[in-house]
Structure 1
Amino acid sequence: MRKVGIGVAGVGRMGRIHAVDLVSRCAKAGLACIYDADRDRAAALAAQLDVPVAASFTELLDRSEAVVIATPTGTHAELTVAAARAGRPVFCEKPISLDRATTLVTIEAVEAAGVPFQVGFHRRFDPDWVAAAERIAAGELGRVTLFRTSLRDMNPPNPAFLAGSGGFFVDVTVHDLDVARWLVGEVVEVSAHGAASDPAFAELGDIDTAVVVLRFANGALGVIDNSRSARYGYECSTEVMGTLATARIDNPHRSGLEWRTPGAATRDIVRDFEERYPYAYAAELDAFAECVRTGAPPRVTGRDALAAFDLAVAADESWRTGRPVAIPQGVNA
């Protein structure tokens, strides 16, 4: 089967991950071309992967059947709309925008263009989460009573990144909020508490640790804990309790090796999301390619991204005001 030729715009960390996967891991998608405003960076990766490099975003669209947008967040909306109006299906890294109105305008523009639009919530394509979601949807868990998830980075990002990140909840917690909606259902109330253990975060009016409590429309409760600087490694684990069973997804080890010495047994743990999700990142691009090929709707849409963004903004409001925030239902329909 011929692979769908996808161009990658922006080859920073996430763009590089996608480009490498398109060359080496994907079964249905291939790398057609890359583009980056930093021409030297684009040229270096193009030489490494032996693929063409475009001199402009317009040239990237001309050379590609579809496009991945992994540029800085502030450019996502503009480039997404340009690609859609050129008739190119779009895979966009989250968030679509840090502004709700812009996000909505972008979604509506893509819908008007009639092209597939998928947003990069990779956990929806990880084999562990997919297996749990399928069994929950099949009723094997019974009625969900409790959702719990942890997302912890090993080391904090560069402070220069924080200024344009949208804040802790939009940048970090948004992944857990998307999983909460996916596995359990719509959220009707958010309560958030945050702290800054590192003065660099406090100086920017941001936090590096948070606990978020959710109330779902179906009566279930949820607890999310997040950290930007767990120090010991990267962790992403989830548990969903139900009336018939419990689904638990633990953080995998880097390898199956356990090293035993008197009184101790050690195993390596992953250091970052790139090590944790090698299959998910490739799978989401293959799923996108299938949408391009068949016209089927993506598994995670712009409307899903908007709903998760709204929950993240509500969490930020709750943290800043010290009060729970009710979530209006039906606003993203």
Structure 2
Amino acid sequence: MAEPVLKAENVTKYFDIGGGLFKKADKVHAVENVSFSLYDGETLGIVGESGSGKSTLARVILGLVPITSGKVFYNGNDITGIKGPNAKYLRQELQMVFQDPYASLNPRLKIGNAIMEPMLVNKVVQTKEDAKKRTLELLELVGLHAQAADRFPHEFSGGQRQRVGIARALAMNPKILICDESVSALDVSVQAQILNLFNKLKKQLKLTYMFIGHDLSVVKYISDRILVMYLGEVIEMAETEELFSHTLHPYTKALISAIPLPTTEKQDDRILLEGDIPSTVNPPSGCRFCMRCFMAKEKCRHEHPKLEEIRPGHFVSCHYWNELEGGAEID
């Protein structure tokens, strides 16, 4: 099997807090012992509710947030906490498309200048004329007219601004694009357009994606494999079709049941999770999902389940995965 282009080993990120209701030693367990491999040309979807640690994981991998422990490798090289000239090179290879396209753009900077700026600063092009030419090519590539270069961010719709964000990320000629909730703020019809654009660019530019989202139906559409996170941990990971046909974790089952279906009939098989998400400052000592799980037993409250490979490429962290419909079918 080919070597992964990006690899995370036991990546952990804690945020220190103190004051108010919290003790000085308290920490937010944002990401804990997350490991995965990303292979050249694939799209790895990362899904979970708000607060599951998806965006923090992306920022740790990119070095935007310092890591607490663990390792990150790119093309076999350790890039954990990388600094200096090598970090500059890495910024070109790994780029990010942010959730809010308006917040990620300078409102006082015209779109053309916003796209040209990283190219000129990082010397991706030799002259300003080359940067202008490349900017017009990128605007056309993401489906915008050349006239857009002379307009400000507030003159665009949300979908158009997201296209600008994609063009700016592509200006650095990256190998990996990390998309952090890149369509969640858009209308459904616009979401479909942006997802199709991502798929088109993947083939045309031979890109590799990490696609973060909370809508499993959207993540399913674009991903080759899916990693499910809950309260900072990976609880299930498998190829997309495998995950849907043999769901092994009750949380993943609940997410799948929440996908809207094109019918007017009442859907009695919905799984409604009860209770609130536990605090990330003081997560449960056993299974982190046990307080909301419809399958939880006494063992779940005291013993933390390990992430195990149940069948080739399919990992799950659950004591009773074989009791879930779909899991019982596995020999």
Q: TM-score, normalised by structure 1?
A: 0.33
- Which is greater in Rg? 2
